[in-house]
Chain A
């Protein structure tokens, strides 16, 4: 019983990290059809900033990481994506790979490839113990952060002028521009938001793992991308639930598969992903932009 309960908590724990990562990927996809692989480097650079600010009062270090990553996201948008905004999605995707490699190898150049240990929020890594069940504080923080950011973004998209403009741009970019929406501003704000999300992921991830390494954000971005696809491209809620679903499936398979099959766990995870896409090609939740209009 305890094993089952603990596994359920673990599933939520891993799912919540994936969900938060997916939110950043899903946001940019929803607005500008861009699958931004450089999102993983936004996270990684956030972790390096936290590593560099070891010893500084934590809220200040966190604020520093958020500022750096948001500015980085804006710079990347201005220099890499704005010049090719009207190109087709494949060009955008390839550009995001290029940006991702550029940032990754810049980190290797500056810090070397060897992982560097860091210790932020050490108390957050420890669990609450209720009976014989562990509830890691970091998971409560991650789930909390996901819920707060999702609600905040949902409110922002529905209630503020720029949010409404973003949704309009997501549905029909050209029409939105014809109606007087300033594309540069809308897209810059979207990038800033994805930078903010990446920085939050960086803080929670660094607290959990205590390691800065040039490729540490890669897996999160990949899962985030898969989550966005199965959640329904263009839907923020879908991205979050997609991330949660990938995490839950991963943990359940890890807990239930016999040892000799556990090594092939990823294969089973992706069988489930493929099954979801076969049964619901549009994803679990369909984004507004994906609906056909007559």
Chain B
């Protein structure tokens, strides 16, 4: 018993003493990245992390934050939610004042919970679930995403107002929670605008089970009055778009941020009539010159364009935190949180960003609409939803 106690004491002394010795110099401040550097989630954390490092470079080039140089430490969650807590403990142990976690609630929450317990700010780059905040994790948790319910409403308004569509078919991928929320909010808002008969029919597949969506395609084909297909597909979405287009269904299709990027387009060469809502155009033609400047800088630093605009959320995590630190004139978590909670339409790279003590995700922010024509992306403007249903936690 005594032996165990000694062991625990030695281990805990080592744990708490080591970081102090290694870091916490007076002229630097540390930002931690307990994110997926390997495994299945790694590609989705890669862009936001690189963009965040770019933002840190920019701040350091301008003399740092409150006179301190920002340094970064990384720890790999190995795409395992269980490892997320260890990775967070690791970077916090190395003196991180703030952490940026994985772009997903399930994978990012374990790390954020550790930061919450140690009273440190935890930003997810792009977890689109409103639970990533005070209600689901704690008052130190924020996400830079635009909530999926806002994206669904935005797409419904865009289809109805801008494109003049009145009849929509909704095709949902049930594998990912984000898709369900996106399609539900689209359906709700489109039915408000076009009436209940505006939703011609709905169908769903599960990307984890369905390799072929032949029966879903038959259902789409059984209607001849469809103006537009709301497509809530994600990771393997390209494969389903290929099947839909191959079946001769050429109706316009709408999609959320999960279909951003051109990495999947090879599956559907010469795709046309496809619209994507995203944080910004990574193709250099965003209506916002700041976004285009970001894309250029990203390419300069990393030698390639960001794969998707999700990277912008990582940049804005650093922007937001640094702004709050400046206003608080302190790195103290309580002071920084108080400033973050006062954010009202702050002009960040991802768009105007607001937080309140209760709501740590954005719903009112505009998004860039991209149109894919003959396999090429073109930004057609920035739009925001007029009416978004209340967040349900």
Query: Could you tell me which A residues sit within 8 Å of B by CB distance?
Result: 2-3, 6-7, 9-11, 13-14, 17, 54, 105, 108-109, 112-119, 122, 125-127, 129, 134, 136, 205, 208-211, 213-216, 219-220, 251, 254-255, 259, 262-263, 266
Contacts and interface: CB of A to CB of B under 8 A. Distances in A.
Given A17-B211, A113-B41, A113-B42, A7 B239 contact: no
Nearest to A222: B209
Contacts of B216: 254
Interface string B216-256: 11110110000000000001101100110011100000000
B43 interface: yes
Interface of B: 38-44, 79, 174, 202-204, 206, 208-212, 214-219, 221-222, 235-236, 238-239, 242-243, 246-248, 263-269, 307
Contact of B212 (A3, A6, A17, A266): A17
Given A115-B236, A116-B264, A216-B211, 16 more contacts: A6-B221, A7-B218, A10-B217, A13-B214, A14-B215, A108-B40, A108-B42, A119-B266, A126-B248, A134-B218, A134-B248, A205-B211, A209-B242, A210-B239, A219-B210, A259-B204
B174 A263 contact: yes
Contacts of B43: 112-114
B264 A136 contact: no
Nearest to B264: A117
B247 A134 contact: yes
B214 A10 contact: yes
B49 to A, nearest CB: 14
A259 to B, nearest CB: 6
Contacts of A210: 238-239, 242, 266-268
Nearest to B308: A114
A112 B38 CA distance: 9
A255 B215 contact: yes
Contacts of B236: 115, 209, 211, 213, 216
A242 to B, nearest CB: 17
B204 A263 contact: yes
Contact of A211 (B39, B204, B215, B239): B239
A52 B44 CA distance: 23
Given A117-B238, A119-B267, A259-B202, A209 B243 contact: yes
B185 to A, nearest CB: 17
19 contacts: A3-B222, A6-B221, A10-B217, A14-B211, A17-B212, A105-B39, A113-B39, A113-B40, A113-B79, A114-B235, A115-B264, A117-B263, A134-B248, A136-B246, A251-B214, A255-B215, A259-B203, A262-B204, A266-B206
Contacts of B242: 125, 208-211
Contacts of B217: 10
B263 A209 contact: no
A219 B208 contact: yes
A255 B219 contact: yes
A117 B206 contact: no
Given A126-B246, A209-B211, A116 B206 contact: no
Contacts of A208: 211-212, 239, 242-243
A241 to B, nearest CB: 19
A21 to B, nearest CB: 9
Pairs of residues from A and B, 6 with the lowest C-beta to C-beta distance, nearest first = A117-B266, A210-B267, A117-B267, A209-B239, A10-B214, A125-B246
A208 to B, nearest CB: 7
